[in-house]
A and B are shown apart, each in its own frame.
Chain A
Amino acid sequence: MLDFSILTKNIDLFLEGFKNTVLASVIALAASFLLGMVIAVMRISPIRPLNWIGTAYVEFIRNIPLLIITFFFFVGTPVLGFTFSGFTAGTIALSIYTAAFIAEAIRAGIQAVPKGQMEAARSSGLTYNQAMRLVILPQAIKIVIPPIGNQFINLVKNSSILAVVAGLDLMYHADLVSSKTFVVFDVYIFVALFYLILTVPLSLGVGYLEKRLAKSN
């Protein structure tokens, strides 16, 4: 049986960790979405240099471990004169890392909108920007919501990377509790439950949206 006294006695530590995990996730979620959108538009842009930057970003970031990016902002940037707390370093790394995947999802969504839509828009007198904003993106968003939802769920789970750089998140506090109480198994079960509190509603929400969108077609 689980020893619930560990949870109740250390609830402050758990809640402090939970709060920071939520905070890091929400910040990274917004930042990675915005950054991902910009990168995606760059990747499909007809302007060559933008295109190259976008592609380089995705291919570079997507293909290295999140841990290395996190270390870069924790122990690498101080060499260059920028020092971040563990929490900040972890959140930046999380945003940059997730943005690459979100960019790919958005790009795939935009490209899944038939090419004829852009051409029809342009021959109806819309500019490239108008066509993108009013015709392509509204259609792409439907295609993109399920994969982006999955990326957000990954993001919440990946936020445990903060623990490695003393980022004060849930996982970090779990480590504290377990070294203090010498209980390992129960502590991590409780931690898993805290993560589920975040990810299950997210997952259900994505599923619900997906159904709604399928119906409106």
Chain B
Amino acid sequence: MSIKIQNISKSFGSFKALDDIHIHIKTGELVALLGPSGSGKTTLLRIIAGLEAADQGSILFGNEDITHIRTKERKVGFVFQHYALFRHMSVFDNVAYGLKVRPRKSRPSKKEIEERVYELLRLVKLEAYANRYPTQLSGGQRQRVALARALAVEPKVLLLDEPFGALDAKVRKDLRRWLRRLHDNFQITSIFVTHDQEEALDVADRVVIMNEGRIEQIGSPEEVYDHPNSPFVYDFLGNVNLFRGRLHKGKLHQGNFQIDAPEFSDAENKTAIGYVRPHDISIEKEENSKDGVSAVIKHIHVVGPIVHLELKRNDTEEYLEAELTKDLYNNLQLKTGEKVFVKPKQLRVFIPEDYTI
């Protein structure tokens, strides 16, 4: 089922939590809502589920406008940030409940309910735990019960609010891959909220980046990571180095070095900032060209096949981060305290007056 979110706005008092949100999600897509705390992710998800009413705008499931339809009738599965399992019910009952309370004519028989619940528990690998109570489960197990419960009502749309938020890194990674497979097998449309960028980039078909109630960018993980459309997105998705300078006729000047910024060929003497990812910084031992920046290596961290360098520029005293492969690092034979020349291989220039960060 496709989801169309059309100019949704929501205020709490005078505070604008969502401001004119548009998103079209295709059937079968897995979309991640990514953004800092307070950016409106949960609010948007709750509006889609009908747990909160929007001040304006509409939501369509397929061709049906469901803006004014109650939660119960929307047939969405919702996985809450803090599980919200029914604490006085066993795992089995938690999953079965949505089916058990249906009006008689649409309610499956007792046997059918039981089969369905066990099928779901098998899926989340918790058949052996059917008779336990939520307090007797680990965080990851509770999360999986929450997921089974959300799936029990056969939703066409699955909404997950930071489903793995409270779990440790290893479990998170396993569960999110597993969620991806589950999503594919069930052929549902899913939206999941996270503020972990790695998680979003790892499993989502598309990523929606939100900030202060607005959408900053929507795109595939590659698009948003490689081509951020604003300083905010650059900053938010991974580490970034800033090169502040003056933009003049297609070049960014800073101190005694300059870098090409061809898309700004008609700029005249503007203040601008170049954004460079750590892995887009090249390190040279000799000054091969005039546009290298002289810097000193302050720290070296080797993490598996990647080497992180912390550098301090000799001209501005600013710190920079660079990443290179272990091979390159070994070839260059870099050492802490060594003087090197740093050069952005690729950079994106933004003029601050267009954006405020």
Contact = CB atoms under 8 A, between A and B. Distances in A.
Given A119-B51, A134-B101, A125 B84 contact: no
> Which of B51, B101, B135 lies at the interface centre, i.e. has the most chain A CB atoms within 10 A of its CB?
B101
A217 B87 CA distance: 9
Given A126-B98, A217-B135, A120 B78 contact: yes
Given A116-B80, A120-B80, A125 B87 contact: no
B51 A122 contact: yes
B121 to A, nearest CB: 16
A126 B84 contact: no
B72 A139 contact: no
Interface string A104-138: 00000000001011011111111100100011001
B72 A127 contact: yes
B97 A124 contact: yes
A123 B82 contact: no
Interface residues of A, number: 18
B149 interface: yes
B82 A125 contact: no
B101 A123 contact: no
Contacts of B87: 117, 139, 217
Interface string A174-192: 0000000000000000000
Contact of B84 (A120, A127, A130, A217): A120
B80 A124 contact: no
Nearest to A119: B51
Nearest to B70: A122
B72 A122 contact: yes
B315 to A, nearest CB: 54
Given A114-B84, A124-B149, 5 more contacts: A120-B149, A123-B77, A123-B150, A124-B153, A126-B72
6 contacts: A119-B80, A122-B71, A123-B77, A124-B97, A126-B98, A127-B72
Interface of A: 114, 116-117, 119-127, 130, 134-135, 138-139, 217
